[in-house]
């Protein structure tokens, strides 16, 4: 009996995913509950496990875009595993470049070669989404150079071909004007909603250029950042805090804290606790603009921006105001590990009311963070650096950090933003007010 492996629904409004990687090989025996593959949506990575025991037949390769519900593999309990599973990868599709195609130029992407001599894409090599798009727009798929593995045509290739006449991968000096300096990369166009405005000129590929499609997560990040700048009046105000008192408090308690609870006492918990106190005094920073209404949140779900190899993700500490120091440190550590390993779920990253971003871990001295829509405020932490400061009429060296609050000026006036940072600074420079208990 054969059991289909299908791309599951991973969230509301998500219609397609991409296969991030297969954990098993074609022709390999698998058991119920074993990890088969990881799929990626524009929000999170999801693991798919085997629902039956048998031999795996892979139908869709890593890197392909898959509509929700499509069959990506089959588990056959009557089949026999191949003798060498390492040789059991799915057979490669015929190259679209053809046997007579010249070898690619050094440093050029394989996609350029496939674009030079496209061949017709057969029905079995097109996903349902591509087939539907081609049929609806009455296009000849053989004229659309593909950018996916083995020269396959993706839905993005079809959309770009229909919008501009030729996709970026096939552009030549004669077919496309050079991209003007400062123009947004054409790869971003596929992530934007369809607009009536003309498409930007395609980038002219040169020897030494490599074209790599954005991951779904990277494309989603790009879309949300542009959306935030278009839909909010973003302004940033700055202050600075003397981190000496927190350093002294951490030095005094961090060893006992870790020995007792097994987690470190980090700067992030101090900033989260201090931010909540500031949000209580300036509640509009914790609110959301919805049309001509303001939605006030009487709870504090604080997003903690985490940089990963796949891009920036923002898991949320739910009910952060009700967390003890120990619970907060444990949750921050748990989310950081899940982010690093690509295990964050959509639920982990949904519903935050305010965000904290720590660019200081990478050495950033000052920045202007972009809002995490639909939130109205985001706090930027930065590198702690010794600087000469005037204290009681004397110049002394103090460990200082610049603080940046980006906020939606439609809702928050300058007075509120400045007051938020003043309150935050006061709690950071007098951390005893935060009542460290463990």
H or E element in which residue 427 lies: helix 414-429
Q: What pTM was computed for the model?
A: 0.59
pLDDT for 250 beyond 80? yes
Work out whether strand 311-313 and strand 35-40 pair parallel, antiparallel, or are unpaired: unpaired
For residue 194, the model assigns a pLDDT of 45
The span from the CA of 118 to the CA of 139, in Å, is 14
Hey, what's the torsion of the CAs at 203, 207, 213, 214, to 10 degrees? -80
Domain boundaries, the chain: 2-87, 110-214, 232-434
What number is the average pLDDT over the span 172-196?
Answer: 40
Give the C-alpha distances (Å, rounded to integers) separating 400 from 267, 392, 419. Answer: 13, 17, 19
Q: What is the pLDDT of residues 61-75, one digit of tens each?
A: 888 888 888 899 999
What number is the average pLDDT over the span 180-184?
Answer: 38
What number is the average pLDDT over the span 248-259?
Answer: 95
pLDDT band at 404 (very low <50, low <70, confident <90, very high): very high
- Asked if 283 and 296 touch (Cβ cutoff 8 Å), the reply is yes
- CATH tag for 232-434 (out of 3.40.309.10, 1.10.1060.10, 3.30.559.10, 1.10.10.60): 3.30.559.10
Rama region for 387: left / alpha / beta (φ>0; ψ in -120 to 50; rest): beta
Mean pLDDT of the chain: 80
For residue 8, the model assigns a pLDDT of 84
Q: Is 297 annotated in the active site?
A: no
The tokens for 106 are 């050094």
The span from the CA of 273 to the CA of 152, in Å, is 50
Q: What is the pLDDT of residues 141-161, one digit of tens each?
A: 777 877 765 677 777 777 777
Work out whether strand 302-304 and strand 354-358 pair parallel, antiparallel, or are unpaired: parallel
Exposure of 205 in the CB half-sphere (CA atoms within 13 A)? 23
Q: Is 409 annotated in the active site?
A: yes
Cross-strand bridge partners of residue 396: 389
Active-site residue identified among 253, 261, 297, 409: 409
The residues, any chain, with a CB within 8 Å of residue 288's CB and separated by 6 or more, are 294, 295, 297, 353, 374, 375, 376
For residue 307, the model assigns a pLDDT of 80
For residue 15, the model assigns a pLDDT of 78
For residue 182, the model assigns a pLDDT of 39
pLDDT band at 77 (very low <50, low <70, confident <90, very high): confident
Q: Of 183-187, 227-231, 307-311, where does mean pLDDT reach its minimum?
A: 183-187
Strand ranges for 16-95 from DSSP E = 16-22, 29-30, 35-40, 45-49, 54-58, 65-67, 71-76
The span from the CA of 187 to the CA of 167, in Å, is 10
> Does the domain at residues 2-87 carry the CATH identifier 1.50.10.20?
no
Give the C-alpha distances (Å, rounded to integers) separating 246 from 262, 358, 378. Answer: 20, 16, 22
Q: Decide which of 1 and 412 is more confident.
A: 412
23-32, 82-91, 102-111, range with greatest mean pLDDT = 23-32
Return the SS3 of 328.
helix
Direct distance between the N- and C-terminal alpha carbons of the chain, in angstroms, rounded to an integer: 56
For residue 89, the model assigns a pLDDT of 44
Q: What is the pLDDT of residues 270-301, one digit of tens each?
A: 999 999 999 999 999 999 999 999 999 999 99
The tokens for 140 are 């000849």
Q: Decide which of 134 and 432 is more confident.
A: 432
What number is the average pLDDT over the span 243-261?
Answer: 96
Tell me which residue of 295, 300, 253, 296 sits closest to 277, measured CA to CA: 300
Hey, what's the torsion of the CAs at 111, 113, 117, 120, to 10 degrees? -30
pLDDT band at 238 (very low <50, low <70, confident <90, very high): very high
Q: What is the pLDDT of residues 317-376, one digit of tens each?
A: 999 999 999 999 999 999 988 888 878 887 888 889 999 999 998 999 999 999 998 999
Hey, what's the torsion of the CAs at 324, 353, 287, 418, to 10 degrees? 70
Active-site residue identified among 77, 341, 413, 430: 413
The tokens for 315 are 């898991």
The span from the CA of 61 to the CA of 149, in Å, is 9
- Tell me 375's DSSP state: B
């Amino acid at each position: 009996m054969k059991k289909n492996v299908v791309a599951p629904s991973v969230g509301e409004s998500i219609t397609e995913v991409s296969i991030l990687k297969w954990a098993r090989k074609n022709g390999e025996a698998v058991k119920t509950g074993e990890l088969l593959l990881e799929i990626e949506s524009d929000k999170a990575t999801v693991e798919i496990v085997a629902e039956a025991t048998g031999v795996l037949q892979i139908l869709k390769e890593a890197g392909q875009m898959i509509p929700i519900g499509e069959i990506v593999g089959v588990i056959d309990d009557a089949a026999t595993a191949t003798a060498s599973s390492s040789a059991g990868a799915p057979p490669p599709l015929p190259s679209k470049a053809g046997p007579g195609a010249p070898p690619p130029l050094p440093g050029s992407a394989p996609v350029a070669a496939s674009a030079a001599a496209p061949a017709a894409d057969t029905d079995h090599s097109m996903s349902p989404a591509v087939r539907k798009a081609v049929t609806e727009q009455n296009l000849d798929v053989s004229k659309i150079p593909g950018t996916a593995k083995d020269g396959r045509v993706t839905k993005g290739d079809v959309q770009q071909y229909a919008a501009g006449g030729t996709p970026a991968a096939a552009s030549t000096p004669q077919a496309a004007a050079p991209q003007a300096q400062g123009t947004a990369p054409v790869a971003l166009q596929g992530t934007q909603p369809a607009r009536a405005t003309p498409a930007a000129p395609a980038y002219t590929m040169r020897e030494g250029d490599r074209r790599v499609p954005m991951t779904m997560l990277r494309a989603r990040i790009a879309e949300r950042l542009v959306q935030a700048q278009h839909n909010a009046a973003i302004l940033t105000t700055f202050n600075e805090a003397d981190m000496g008192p927190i350093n002294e408090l951490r030095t005094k308690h961090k060893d006992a804290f870790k020995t007792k609870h097994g987690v470190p006492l980090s700067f992030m918990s101090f900033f989260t606790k201090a931010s909540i106190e500031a949000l209580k005094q300036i509640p509009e920073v914790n609110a959301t603009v919805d049309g001509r209404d303001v939605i006030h949140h009487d709870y504090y779900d604080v997003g903690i921006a985490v940089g990963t190899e796949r891009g920036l993700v923002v898991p949320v500490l739910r009910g952060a105001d009700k967390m003890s120091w120990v619970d907060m440190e444990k949750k921050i550590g748990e989310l950081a590990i899940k982010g690093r390993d690509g295990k964050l779920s959509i639920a982990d990253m949904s519903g935050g009311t305010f965000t904290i971003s720590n660019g200081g871990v990478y050495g950033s001295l000052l920045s202007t963070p972009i809002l995490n829509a639909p939130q109205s405020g985001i706090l930027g932490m930065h590198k702690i650096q010794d600087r000469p400061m005037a204290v009681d009429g004397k110049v002394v060296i103090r460990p200082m950090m610049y603080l940046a609050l980006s906020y939606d000026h439609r809702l928050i006036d300058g007075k509120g933003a400045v007051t938020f940072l003043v309150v935050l600074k006061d709690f950071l420079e007098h951390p005893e007010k935060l009542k460290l208990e463990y």
